[in-house]
């Protein structure tokens, strides 16, 4: 029962993320360009640009960290602030692996506290049958 509820929460949170990204992409006429960064065959980040007339403008940046087993343990999203001309922290997702169980914790950046704050209602634990 707990696994079914966790799986439903994971699917729901993933669906919401995809819808959010799709909506953002539509608002820019789907003119997003992805530039992945790889080290030793692993994608450690990527920068996403959007078309701004005839030029590309910074939009989002992602950083990824992996454990010794090449499993993603952290994904960080940064948004471009064109007023300040700098990247700003937005969201971090941590993945914890215990046996065949994966726990996903979502953190939202709090500018006043200058720290990521856990969003407990977004925490998902599920069994990974691929492990």
Kindly report each contact of residues 77-86 with a partner whose C-beta sits within 8 Å and lies 24 or more positions away, as own/partner. 82/57, 82/58
- Supply the pLDDT for residue 28: 44
Torsions phi, psi for 86 (to 5 deg) = -155, 160
Chain centroid, CA 71 distance in Å: 15
Band of residue 46 on the pLDDT scale cut at 50, 70, 90: very high
Name the more confident of 54 and 17.
54
**2-43 pLDDT tens trace:** 444 455 555 555 655 555 555 454 444 569 999 999 999 999
**95-120 pLDDT tens trace:** 999 999 999 999 999 999 999 999 99
**CA–CA distances in Å: residue 33 to residues 4, 29, 41, 102:** 36, 12, 21, 31
Residues 34 and 59 sit within 8 Å (Cβ to Cβ): no
* Averaged confidence pLDDT in the chain: 84
């Amino acid at each position: 029962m707990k696994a079914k509820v966790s799986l439903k929460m994971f699917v729901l949170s993933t669906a919401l993320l995809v819808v959010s990204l799709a909506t953002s992409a539509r608002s820019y006429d789907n003119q997003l360009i992805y530039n992945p960064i790889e080290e030793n065959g692993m994608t450690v980040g990527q920068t996403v640009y959007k078309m701004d007339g005839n030029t590309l403008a910074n939009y989002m940046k992602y950083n990824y960290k992996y454990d010794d087993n090449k499993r993603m343990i952290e994904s960080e999203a940064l948004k471009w602030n064109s007023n300040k001309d700098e990247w700003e922290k937005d969201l971090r997702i941590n993945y914890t692996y215990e046996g065949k169980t994966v726990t996903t914790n979502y953190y939202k950046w709090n500018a006043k506290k200058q720290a990521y704050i856990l969003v407990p209602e977004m925490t998902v634990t599920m069994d990974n049958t691929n492990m």
